[in-house]
Amino acid sequence: MEIVKTLIKHNSSTIEDDQLIPEVRVWLKEIDVLYASFLTLSTIFTVIVVCLAGVHLYYVIKYVSNTRIQSDLYYLALMFPVTTICNMAGMFIPRAALFLYAVALVYFMFCLFVVVSLLFNIFGSRKEMSDYLLEKNIQISFRVAPLCCFKFLPSVSSTDENLRRVEWLVFQTPILRTTFELTSVVVFMELGHRHNLWFMFSQLFGLISMCVAFYGCYVMVPLGKNKVAPYRFMQLFTIVDVAQCLYTVQKFCFDFAAVFEIISPDCLLSAAAKAQFWASFMLTWEMMTLSAVATYLLRPTQSIFFDKYPVVDSTTQHNGSTQTIESFVIPHTRVEDDRKIVFDPIDGSSIRIRRDSEIDVLYASFLTLSTIFTVIVVCLAGVHLYYVIKYVSNTRIQSDLYYLALMFPVTTICNMAGMFIPRAALFLYAVALVYFMFCLFVVVSLLFNIFGSRKEMSDYLLEKNIRISFRVAPLCCFKFLPSVSSTDENLRRVEWLVFQTPILRTTFELTSVVVFMELGHRHNLWFMFSQLFGLISMCVAFYGCYVMVPLGKNKVAPYRFMQLFTIVDVAQCLYTVQKFCFDFAAVFEIISPDRLLSAAAKAQFWASFMLTWEMMTLSAVATYLLRPTQSIFFDKYPVVDSTTQHNGSTQTIESFVIPHTRVEDDRKIVFDPIDGSSIRVRRDSGPKII
């Protein structure tokens, strides 16, 4: 951790350490047998975890009847695959390892809140849990680990308000950790290294935030433990708790070892990168082990989460008869209530509920179409990534193109998943929106990297006397807007106009999820303010892009950068404006509810479907406009040189497609294989032809 690295001065730690981490192509080409073996093992462990997660999701979908509990179990079932995939990917892409670690850590922190939400949903809601605890005279005690020895800590009444406060102890951590990690990415991109006090403070406050969240869980989880025992909720929480501890404490230990040279650098990785590699490997097999343990301890025959699961009832006189867990394993506290009403399994409400839960042909058709569009987008993204990895030599440009190549698949996957899981649709929409906002910053970063860096871009613009003009769309008519010198400091300020939006939008969207879980609806002023300020933030980011992108347009023309930016711009507009239009239609009852979805959920469904095919179309357009023969991003791509007299000869784009601005310089020296003198004189337009 940067806490250790910053507090303990170490002479061998240099700013260049972060820059020596190899890119994927070099890393995979030059790794030795040891690294290759552990990469293979981590891949195997990840595949096992993903397969187990598939089993978990199948049983959750098929055998859990309570939809709120089902939604919470979706997130928890994905905890292990998200973690292992991020860590395995970090082992394959060392430069992105810290970012991927942060992504999984944020998801882990969110899972802590999901555990508390699941506890409420077992009781029905937080209010019903409060009523149960008050009825049983169970108080909220703050004398729990690790503060169980502090006798002065109070016990308070289990009111709804107090439960809400404890809940906020847990949920603050995904909000804060997300903000910290995104800001850390900003600082790292700004400085090019991690030797800065910000990283110490972000990890310090992140660690405090995480400890507060754990404490909130330890306060909340023991409440009503007799009620939740048949669900094996305590075992579930223990698994999540152990996983969180392993994920955070183990990383600290490996970083500690790197600082004190217990882990030493080698020809490929710095000490810090090597520590991250081994920490990631350890986490892959540990998460696999915990996933297997969870599979065993929470199997359907032992937990009444899976209340629709058929089991053999050996206690009855009818040998071999089967019942569901809902009718077989029943918590003692609710036996009387459950027996008040009995439904006939042949002609009763159960059949109606089952019939009503089935989607009609219209929804099924559009779900199928969205799946097809998503598969096409993922395939195109695979093609894009292949060409970026194989034919782009500049590693900084390559890194930026990775993020942009994943923009369409992330969007379509999130929207398709939201169509299949309506209760998670808004959250998944927010996830993709945050990624979209981040892509705006990546476009600006890509612009800098075309020039070499922000400083080099500033030098070029100052040399060409190109100023930063603020009279751009949509404010091009305001003549009072100034033009400023293209200094490095001014470019940095415009850059921040763009990058503020992923930070702010992430905070707004996560908070919106909190409020929605708190209220159970979206009829609250917070949603208006969050969308209003989010819209303002997005407009500021777009304005920053419109100011930045036209600078040095002659220099970036051979890259087809303007076409790339236009595609990203159109995608962003579709993603935000279209959603607003569908929500508007739902509010004014243009879109009406039906037996399955409310008007708002229906609007989200159709907005998600529209976005899947629109992103597919834009992905295809990007594939055509930015093909390697037209853009010198792909400077290693071989093309046929039809301008020479040697038919069929090939060159790379680096030597063939040359920006127009440097044609004159290239014509100063011309080699002719037949008669060099005459050709040279003709090219120079001289009068000495004999």
Considering the entire predicted model, what is its pTM? 0.51
Nearest to 173 by CA among 121, 219, 231, 108: 108
Amino acid at 103: V
Among 283, 298, 313, where does a domain finish? 298
CATH number at residue 155: 1.20.1070
Greatest Cα pair distance in the chain:
116
Nearest to 574 by CA among 511, 532, 510, 619: 619
Q: Please indicate whether residue 186 or residue 430 has the higher confidence score (pLDDT).
A: 430
Domain count, the chain: 2
506 pLDDT above the threshold of 70: no
288 and 413 share one domain: no
436 and 293 share one domain: no
128 and 217 share one domain: yes
* Alpha carbon distance 588, 211 (integer Å): 45
511 and 595 share one domain: yes
* Alpha carbon distance 579, 565 (integer Å): 21
Q: How do 483-484 and 468-469 pair as beta strands? A: antiparallel
40 and 151 share one domain: yes
155 and 278 share one domain: yes
387 and 282 share one domain: no
Q: Confidence class of residue 619 from pLDDT cuts 50, 70 and 90?
A: very high
Residue-level pLDDT at 593: 86
Tens digits of per-residue pLDDT, 242-262?
888 888 888 888 888 888 888
166 pLDDT above the threshold of 50: yes
Q: In this structure, is residue 530 part of a structural domain?
A: yes
The stretch 146-151 carries a mean pLDDT of: 82
Q: In this structure, is residue 217 part of a structural domain?
A: yes
Q: In this structure, is residue 381 part of a structural domain?
A: yes
Tens digits of per-residue pLDDT, 573-583?
888 788 888 88
Q: Please indicate whether residue 267 or residue 623 has the higher confidence score (pLDDT).
A: 623
Q: In this structure, is residue 247 part of a structural domain?
A: yes
SS3 letters across 358-410: CCCHHHHHHHHHHHHHHHHHHHHHHHHHHHHHHHCCCHHHHHHHHHHHCHHHH
Q: Are 573 and 539 in contact (CB under 8 A)?
A: no
258 and 380 share one domain: no
507 pLDDT above the threshold of 70: no
Residue-level pLDDT at 2: 54
612 and 463 share one domain: yes
* Alpha carbon distance 305, 230 (integer Å): 8
Tens digits of per-residue pLDDT, 288-303?
999 999 999 999 998 8
528 and 410 share one domain: yes
State the residue range of the domain holding 255: 21-298
Tens digits of per-residue pLDDT, 544-599?
888 888 887 888 889 998 899 889 888 888 887 888 888 888 888 888 888 888 88
540 and 404 share one domain: yes
216 and 289 share one domain: yes
Q: In this structure, is residue 120 part of a structural domain?
A: yes
Q: In this structure, is residue 380 part of a structural domain?
A: yes
Q: What is the DSSP letter of 494?
A: H
Among 626, 655, 670, where does a domain finish? 626
Among 298, 333, 348, where does a domain finish? 298
Q: In this structure, is residue 377 part of a structural domain?
A: yes
Ranges of H-type helices in 143-196: 160-191
Q: Confidence class of residue 56 from pLDDT cuts 50, 70 and 90?
A: very high
Q: In this structure, is residue 657 part of a structural domain?
A: no
